[in-house]
Amino acid sequence: MSLGEFELIKQYFQQQSGAPGVALGIGDDCALLTVPLGQQLAVSMDTSIADVHFPADGEPDLIAERALRVNISDLAAMGAEPLWFTLGLTLPDADPQWLQAFSQGLFRVAREYGIALVGGDTTRGKLSITIQVHGAVAEGKALLRSRASEGDQIFVTGPVGDGAAALAVMKQQLSAASMMTDYLMERYYRPQPQVVAGQLLTNFCAAAIDISDGLVADLGHICEQSGVGADLHLERIPLSEAVRQLVSFEQGIDWALSGGDDYQLCFTVPKAQVQQLETLVSTGKIVAHHIGEITAGNGVSCWHNSNPVVPSGKGFQHFGGQEALS
């Protein structure tokens, strides 16, 4: 990039060293990182492009927060501890005010999750943000999509559907009181990657995934990779109070099933280990809502008060009595 590149990196992205495992951070050709003994490195990358994944004129600190949080969510879904990240930043211009706010948002999240920026690349072009996260998980303990088996119970860590509700508000398809708008914008821009839950689950959970594309699609990935099916009980799916107040149950469930951008974990636990999970729930260490069970079939089957219902692909517009299969 321009001559200003080094100044820009120094001013906005180079922070004091001293983060765990960082033998050498920003400034050389590579960072040098030490993976804790007996742990595996979990690596994942996500790109966010202006006007595709976020509005280009959004608040820069929130754009940064969302980009990093969404990446950390992938570490959470593997049960990994966040350690380091790199940042590929493409900017139309080097606007100091924008960069100041962006880096503030970025480091706010970095501090919250104890993840250190160790390098990156800076280029000129349409605004886009690529983040690669690195985490550590004890060897053989990572939560995989492929580990579900018949009889496992299915859980989610919190309300689903908020991401889609936020998008509907942003696209002005829905008007909401400011309190709910605030809640939904917060959920959209500042999703809470379930890092603590993910790490606790490595002790007994079978399979896990973070919900970025909606429950049906994401639980569907677990089914596909594990060679199993799933029964999902729609009346048990947790919806936030905002969603319940704003729209019908059918619309809320539609968003939960096919909306995405929720970043809760969906995970399965073998029957014999459910008691262990319940202990963690009752002592407040983890939040888990029981929403279904893994079957010998294939794909995700949906039930409402024990009646089978058919997803229309775009959720449950046809949801309700006469459309049920029974």
| CA–CA gap between residue 160 and residue 255 (Å, rounded) | 8
Does 93 contact ligand ADP by CB under 6 A? no
Backbone angles phi, psi at 155, to 5 degrees: -135, 160
Nearer to ligand ADP by Cβ, of 121 and 182: the residue is 121
Annotated ligand binding at 74? The verdict is yes
Does 121 contact ligand ADP by CB under 6 A? yes
Annotated ligand binding at 61? The verdict is no
CB of 31 to Mg ion, least distance (A): 12
- Among Mg ion, ligand ADP, none, the one that 153 touches (CB under a kind-dependent 5 to 8 A) is none
Does 87 contact ligand ADP by CB under 6 A? yes
Q: DSSP readout, 200-264? A: HHTTT--EEEE-SS-HHHHHHHHHHHHT-EEEEEGGGS---HHHHHHS-HHHHHHHHHHT-----
Instruction: Indicate the residue whose CB is closest to Mg ion.
Output: 121
| CA–CA gap between residue 207 and residue 196 (Å, rounded) | 16
List all residues 6 or more positions away from 270 whose beta carbon is below 8 Å from its beta carbon.
149, 151, 152, 153, 204, 206
- Among ligand ADP, Mg ion, none, the one that 129 touches (CB under a kind-dependent 5 to 8 A) is none
Annotated ligand binding at 162? The verdict is no
| CA–CA gap between residue 16 and residue 26 (Å, rounded) | 10
Binding map of Mg ion across residues 110-129, x = CB under 5 A, - = no contact: -----------x--------
CB of 320 to Mg ion, least distance (A): 56
Amino acid of residue 210: D
Does 110 contact ligand ADP by CB under 6 A? no
- Among Mg ion, ligand ADP, none, the one that 119 touches (CB under a kind-dependent 5 to 8 A) is ligand ADP
Angle (deg, nearest 10), helices 60-78 and 178-189: 60
Binding map of ligand ADP across residues 3-32, x = CB under 6 A, - = no contact: ------x---x------------xxxx---
Does 80 contact ligand ADP by CB under 6 A? no
Q: Torsion-angle region of residue 119: left (phi > 0), alpha (psi -120 to 50) or beta? A: left
Amino acid of residue 268: T
User: Residues interacting with ligand ADP, by CB under 6 A?
Assistant: 9, 13, 26-29, 87, 89, 117, 119-122
List residues forming the annotated binding site.
29, 44, 46, 53, 74, 120-121, 145, 210, 212-213, 261, 316
